[in-house]
């Protein structure tokens, strides 16, 4: 059984950017690629990045921020009143 993730999350749009990566600090350890449940971190041509539409997919768990021992990932919760909504949390 494959569970389709599409439709399993609700959001209030308008978060703005709330996750950024500092390439001066990133050491390419790839921990963020493994830890993200939604698979939003990718690597292309040796460079790690977060997908463009992460704001409409992110679960706001902050795992990428926590796992980053290089402190390259900056995370601040989205603007008040926006972002993920857990109706059955």
Partner 1 sequence: MKDFDLIIVGAGPGGSMAAKTAAEKGLKTIFFERSRKPGEKNSSGCGLGPRMFRDFPEMMKELTPDKCPSMRAGTASRNYFVNNDDIVSGYIMARPTESVSYEPAKSWITMNVYRSEFDPWIAKFATDAGAELKTSTLIVDLLKEDGKICGVIDEKGEKYRAPIVIGADGVISTVAQKSGLRNKWAQNQVTLTLQYDFQAPSDKIDDIMGDETLAVWWGSNFPASYQVFFNDGFHQGLGNWMNWWDKNPLYYLNRVINLKYYQRLLKILDAKPRELQSHLLPWLDYPFNTHTDSVILIGDAGGFPCPLEAEGIYPAMVTGKIAAEVASEAVTSGDVSKATLKRFDEEWQNTSIGKEFEAGCELWNIWKALPFSPKETMSWFVPMIMEILGGIFDWSQPHALRVRQIISHVKSYMPKATPFIMTYVFPLIAKVFEDDLDKLMDPKKIMKVLPKLLDMLPQKKKKRGG
What is d(CA 76, CA 43) in angstroms, rounded to the nearest whole number?
22
Does the protein bind partner 1 through residue 56 (CB under 8 A)? no
Rg (CA), the chain: 14
Among 29, 51, 62, 70, binds partner 1 (CB under 8 A): 62
Question: Which position has the token pair 């603007």?
Answer: 79
Residue 44 binds partner 1 (CB under 8 A): no
Query: In angstroms, what is the minimal distance from the CB of 85 to partner 1?
Result: 5
Give buried/exposed letters for 15-39 (b at 16+ CB in 10 A, else e): beebbebeeeebeeeebbbeebeee
Question: Which of 21-29, 43-51, 57-65 is the region at the interface with partner 1 (rule: CB under 8 A)?
Answer: 57-65
Tokens 């926590």, located at residue:
66
17 binds partner 1 (CB under 8 A): no
Residues that bind partner 1 (CB under 8 A): 1-5, 8-10, 12, 34-39, 59-63, 65-67, 69, 71, 75-81, 83-89
């Amino acid at each position: 059984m494959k569970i389709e993730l599409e439709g399993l999350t609700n959001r209030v749009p308008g978060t703005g950017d709330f996750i950024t990566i500092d390439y001066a600090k990133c050491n390419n350890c790839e921990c963020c690629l493994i830890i993200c449940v939604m698979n939003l971190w990718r690597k292309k041509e040796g460079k790690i990045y977060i997908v463009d539409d992460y704001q409409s997919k992110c679960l706001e768990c902050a795992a990428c921020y926590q796992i980053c021992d290089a402190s390259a990932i900056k995370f601040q919760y989205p603007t008040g009143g926006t972002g993920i909504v857990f109706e059955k949390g």
